[in-house]
Structure 1
């Protein structure tokens, strides 16, 4: 059985009927955080919403105005997850998020075309592929792809697009001799019914359950972005197609405009201007490091030569960093004193370093981190890390003063 979305990938709306609705939960990651949603798994007589398969992510859309958050395939059924129950027998109208669907159609169809041409021309079999959110890649069974081969491959796939070749799905019976003549990576273990084949006119035929364009001209254009070393002596070939390529080009042009303003030169001069700035920055960083080292030595000298110095040395530098704080600590005799060194926003986020005898620092370091609402780590008599409340430095200093009696005497 083929779903409505597989019979006509351009269909954006379908009226169908609910077969079953059962309580379920959906585990997903939102903004990097795992969450579990309580809802229902709905099976309908047919679906215009594509369940994930063939390397293509599932669709998004609505069913009677209710957001469909996940679509998977279970045997011959598509299972749609929603947060509101819809009773069995209810007539529903499914609507597809067309922007997402058409993007997936373009990237998936482009993958078929690139894979077919690469294997026919260079003998590079495709072992897997990934339809990413921003760019896609095809894993090819070859240890390396030369730049000239990639250019030739890009030229040929775009020539096929200009020929406006048809891309057509069809169904054949399981066990048909036709299946011996098509490219396939095998069928799912729970496959039932006929087998769907997607054919690119004069180029290839391939078993696939995904949604595709009806004509290669709908891909508009394909750009091969580059090749990177993959796993197990394979190569990942990155690409963009259709609207995704146009959006990428738009972002590139916007960045180009910004760089032109920053660098005060046209696009052709950007590389040279950036290289010049990079060299100047290296010189400036070297000079800054030298000055910070001199400043650290001066601060330590002033403290070490005080007649009646406080056993707790406190220093804050807004423009400092951990390297500077460690420079200061290196110049102080930490055998009979404790140091609280901080850098950054005096009232907010910054860095801290507590230094002194190892046994004391191991004990007091975590207390200072907690006081500054930060976190860090201890090593060789130094506890350093990030602080969220440098405004509490005075309290941290008071904590260190409590450990003065434990310092060894000169």
Structure 2
């Protein structure tokens, strides 16, 4: 038996697939050799077993150990160490927002079960067909199955901080299969969950790829909002909330009051001046520093609280992906304002390439308007043309109103003359509306106080219209009952000397049938 001094032990850990601070697996190798006779291996087994027992019970009590003993007195211990996935706040996409790909592995995959009734939320159930040949069409289509996949780490940002989730795809490594598109990533507490229509087995190695054009656009909007809010804070315009528009749409910040036109110009100039200064943008995670802006389901003690610092201008807690320098924002373009909730106001804006694209669309739209107006595309010329056109429209409406009143007066006179020798009168104006009827009724108010009844209607076949019956109460009641039988889509009501209805669509022959019914009284 060898003395303790004659045996040397070497313990090493071979690590494979190190992801962040997580080990996907490790191998513990314990080697023993004799200081005097390296080939006398048979006597090492008791000492090696004691060493392994110590490793299993004291050092790695949670490891499942498989013992093997080689002719060279080398014993390997296969250690299955569970992966602890990176939490939201410490994801690779948050550590390096310019990272576009990442190799990682699946640590969890569960099928998503939508809440009951969500498939028909807000929708009326359609009536099932009784036709046997359409039996299959009665069945609701099977919902698309979705899986919630968690990886050891992620280059795909989950929705949060006012920022939309990334889009990208997952490519399994070492196995046949096409890339899996991912367009919905959500934060569940501290976990980053990727919604996929294709499941993946736990342990599958994958390559994640972010759709970087979208990521860049979202970062320009988000970092642009931080800069915009920082500039406005110094002008007594604190940001109450904000909303990021979908790609191609405008964003807005909500303010406690409406900024003046002069302030808007000043804010835009200050923002773009800071962009030209190329201020550094850094992420800090100070220990012990909290934030009141954390979501209620995010564990601040176990998680990572990130602060985004823009030069000396701004220092705010945020989980989103951000640019590394203000010059990458490109520009900030302020748009219109909209009043909401009392004195609050929304100021709309875009940043970066989105602002350029929106400005380009506006220029093209202005050019098309100029062509329609036979004007040059210069903004001042288009504005002058539009102003002139607006004045013409206003004057045209005034003339139309005067002419309509004259026609209504003439139509009322025709009804009066008809009622002098008949108990009923009928008037139909296919191109006019309720305004015309009301103008005619003003002229008829004295005539219809006595005997007689008049029916006035507007609209034409396959179009909507209005219908009014006025006159002697008994005649109005009699005619209104007939109207409901003749005009299938009429809805209305009334009592006494007036009944009024709306026709959603005149059917062929209904107007003539109504005229006949009136004349037969």
| Same fold (TM > 0.5) | yes
Q: How big is each residue's C-alpha offset from its partner over 1:259-281, in whole Å with a ceiling of 9 and x where there is no partner? A: 32233333222333222222222
Q: How big is each residue's C-alpha offset from its partner over 1:80-111, in whole Å with a ceiling of 9 and x where there is no partner? A: 33445444444455444444332221111111
- Structure 1 residue 285: Cα displacement: 1.0
Q: Is the 8 A contact 1:377 1:385 kept in 2?
A: yes
- How many angstroms apart in 1 are the aligned matches of 2:119 and 2:309? 35
Moved more, 395-404 or 129-138: 395-404
Q: How big is each residue's C-alpha offset from its partner over 1:55-78, in whole Å with a ceiling of 9 and x where there is no partner? A: 122233444544445332111112
Partner-residue secondary structure (3-state), 1:305:
helix
Which residue pairs with 1:188 in the alignment?
A: 295
- How many angstroms apart in 1 are the aligned matches of 2:433 and 2:101? 58
Q: Is the 8 A contact 1:360 1:403 kept in 2?
A: no
**Any residues of structure 2 matched to 1:44-193 within 5 Å, and which?**
44-45=150-151, 46-63=153-170, 65-119=179-233, 121-133=234-246, 134-141=249-256, 143-173=257-287, 175-176=288-289, 185-192=292-299, 193=303
Q: Is the 8 A contact 1:338 1:400 kept in 2?
A: no
The equivalent position to 2:391 in structure 1, one of 269, 276, 279, is 279
- Structure 1 residue 11: Cα displacement: 3.3
Moved more, 12-21 or 242-251: 12-21
Which residue pairs with 1:42 in the alignment?
A: 148
- How many angstroms apart in 1 are the aligned matches of 2:210 and 2:485? 55
Name structure 1 gaps, 5 residues minimum: none
CA gap of 1:130–1:96, structure 2 versus 1, over 3 A, is same
Partner-residue secondary structure (3-state), 1:168:
strand
CA gap of 1:229–1:187, structure 2 versus 1, over 3 A, is same
- How many angstroms apart in 2 are the aligned matches of 1:112 and 1:365? 64
Partner-residue secondary structure (3-state), 1:55:
coil
**Any residues of structure 2 matched to 1:3-402 within 5 Å, and which?**
3-18=91-106, 19-25=108-114, 38-45=144-151, 46-63=153-170, 65-119=179-233, 121-133=234-246, 134-141=249-256, 143-173=257-287, 175-176=288-289, 185-192=292-299, 193-231=303-341, 233-266=343-376, 267=378, 268-306=380-418, 311=424, 313=426, 315-318=428-431, 320-331=432-443, 336-337=452-453, 339=455, 341-343=457-459, 346-356=460-470, 371-372=488-489, 378=493, 381-385=498-502, 387=504, 389-390=505-506, 392-395=507-510, 398=513
- Structure 1 residue 185: Cα displacement: 4.4
Partner-residue secondary structure (3-state), 1:47:
coil
- How many angstroms apart in 1 are the aligned matches of 2:486 and 2:326? 64
- How many angstroms apart in 1 are the aligned matches of 2:263 and 2:479? 60
Partner-residue secondary structure (3-state), 1:126:
coil
Q: How big is each residue's C-alpha offset from its partner over 1:236-290, in whole Å with a ceiling of 9 and x where there is no partner? A: 3322211121122112211221232233333222333222222222221111112
Partner-residue secondary structure (3-state), 1:253:
helix
CA gap of 1:245–1:28, structure 2 versus 1, over 3 A, is farther
Q: Is the 8 A contact 1:329 1:355 kept in 2?
A: no
Q: CA RMSD in A?
A: 3.7
Which residue pairs with 2:16 in the alignment?
A: none
Please give the TM-score of this superposition, normalised by the length of structure 1: 0.79
Which residue pairs with 2:39 in the alignment?
A: none
| Aligned positions, number | 388
Q: Is the 8 A contact 2:149 2:195 kept in 1?
A: no
Q: How big is each residue's C-alpha offset from its partner over 1:348-372, in whole Å with a ceiling of 9 and x where there is no partner? A: 3333334346756876777777x24
Q: Is the 8 A contact 2:149 2:199 kept in 1?
A: no
- Structure 1 residue 113: Cα displacement: 0.5
Name structure 2 gaps, 5 residues minimum: 1-86, 126-141, 172-178
CA gap of 1:33–1:211, structure 2 versus 1, over 3 A, is farther
- How many angstroms apart in 2 are the aligned matches of 1:350 and 1:108? 48
- Structure 1 residue 219: Cα displacement: 1.3
